[in-house]
Amino acid sequence: MNYENIIFEVENGVATVTMNRPKALNSLNIEILQELSHAVKEVAANDEIMGLVITGAGKAFVAGADIVQMKEYNGEQARNYATFGQNVFNEIETLEKPVIAAVNGYALGGGNELCMACDIRIASEKAVFGQPEVNLGILPFFGGTQRLGRLVGAGRAKELVFTAAYIKADEAYRIGLANKVVEPDALMDATKEMMATILTKSPIGVKYGKVAVNKGLDMDLKNALELETSFAGLCFSTEDQKEGMNAFVEKRAAEFKNK
Ligand code: CO8
């Protein structure tokens, strides 16, 4: 696919998607969401790509859904758009590879919802987070009403959704929305460094860890623990489990093969 609204690059087994409509602050129209979805599928299908980074060009990560495109929508079009955006973000959340959002600037509305669908958020000191939808007569509906509460708790989620407050990176870090805050110039290096650390680990352990955390959040504890147990059994049937434990005993670094 020829991408026009995103930049898709692969380096050292890590794909980077740069949301690239800087004149509209990378806001999410249908075209950019379609391209993002295509890129995520490309990452899923390519065994050489082990992780994904999502960031934004210019001063925004993503400043929300494209208000110009959606302002004349009727209820049915809005529902279709919400479902479409939610499906794209679900593709990111269920990608069986680690996904890090490098939040370079505004992450508002659908932009905050996009970064919350990623596994980890590293924020530039210039990042600004918020769910300003109530300013527009709507509620967050690319998953924000659900993922925000799961990340920061219902009380803080409601405060952000009800007040439309914009919060800076340090506050996002304080409430658990951002995993880490770094100087703007250090954002991509810090992101790559964290991804590189993850990629030295067992891909199977990372994959099952991601699925177990994500699915477990939607299950009761008993069933979630059973899911965890079943993944433990699966791990012990892999070469990587043997390699990891043998390497520990032999006091050497493990060489994982994702098998
Ligand atoms: N949609 C469309 N265009 C946008 C958006 C947006 N979300 N955000 C910014 N732009 C455009 C501006 O219109 C402007 O265009 P132009 O130069 O043609 O006038 C350009 O980007 C630059 O923006 P500003 O001049 O406003 O830049 P500032 O630095 O002055 O301000 C802000 C930056 C504070 C980020 C400001 O642009 C802003 O408030 N943007 C809107 C933020 C917002 O409300 N986002 C939430 C959108 S709703 C949403 O995401 C809901 C998700 C679920 C949707 C489901 C739909 C059915």
Q: What pLDDT, on the 0 to 100 scale, is given for residue 20?
A: 98
Q: What pLDDT, on the 0 to 100 scale, is given for residue 60?
A: 98
Q: What pLDDT, on the 0 to 100 scale, is given for residue 122?
A: 98
* Whether residue 101 has pLDDT greater than 90: yes
157 — pLDDT class (breaks 50, 70, 90): very high
Rounded to the nearest integer, the mean pLDDT of the chain is 97
Q: What distance separates the 2 farthest-apart alpha carbons in the chain? A: 65
CB 15 less than 6 A from any atom of ligand 1:
no
Q: Are 108 and 63 in contact (CB under 8 A)?
A: yes
Write the single-letter amino acid at 161: V
State which H helix or E strand residue 171 sits in. helix 169-174
CATH superfamily, with its number, for domain 6-198: 2-enoyl-CoA Hydratase; Chain A, domain 1 (3.90.226.10)
Mean local confidence (pLDDT), 129-142: 97
Q: What pLDDT, on the 0 to 100 scale, is given for residue 199?
A: 96
CB 134 less than 6 A from any atom of ligand 1:
no
Does ipTM exceed 0.90? yes
Write the single-letter amino acid at 21: R
Backbone dihedral region of 101: left (phi > 0), alpha (psi from -120 to 50 degrees) or beta? Answer: beta
Percent of the chain with pLDDT over 70: 100
CA 27–ligand 1 middle distance (angstroms) = 7
**Ligand 1 nearest atom to the CA of residue 109, by list position:** 50
Distance CA 186, CA 115 (A): 18
Q: Where are the domains of the chain?
A: 6-198, 203-249
Q: Are 177 and 150 in contact (CB under 8 A)?
A: no
Q: Are 108 and 61 in contact (CB under 8 A)?
A: no
Per-residue model confidence as pLDDT tens digits over 208-255: 999 999 999 999 999 999 999 999 999 999 999 999 999 999 999 999
CB 114 less than 6 A from any atom of ligand 1:
no
pTM of the full predicted structure? Answer: 0.97
Given this chain, do its domains 6-198 and 203-249 carry the same CATH topology? no
Residues classed as catalytic: 113, 133
Burial of 204 (0-12, 13-18, 19+ CB in 10 A): buried
* Whether residue 165 has pLDDT greater than 90: yes
Mean local confidence (pLDDT), 10-14: 96
Q: What pLDDT, on the 0 to 100 scale, is given for residue 225?
A: 98
Antiparallel, parallel or unpaired: β 128-130 and 14-19: unpaired
Q: What pLDDT, on the 0 to 100 scale, is given for residue 1?
A: 84
Per-residue model confidence as pLDDT tens digits over 18-65: 999 999 999 999 999 999 999 999 999 999 999 999 999 999 999 999
Write the single-letter amino acid at 189: D
Phi, psi dihedrals of residue 114, rounded to the nearest 5°: -65, -45
Residue nearest to atom 41 of ligand 1 (CA): 63
Q: What pLDDT, on the 0 to 100 scale, is given for residue 97?
A: 98
What does CATH list as the number for 203-249?
1.10.12.10
Residue nearest to atom 53 of ligand 1 (CA): 141
Mean local confidence (pLDDT), 185-203: 97
Burial of 2 (0-12, 13-18, 19+ CB in 10 A): exposed
- Ligand 1 pocket: which of 5, 21, 25, 142 to mutate (most atoms <8 Å of CB)? 25
Mean local confidence (pLDDT), 8-14: 97
82 — pLDDT class (breaks 50, 70, 90): very high
Distance CA 48, CA 117 (A): 23
CB atoms within 10 A of CB 97: 22
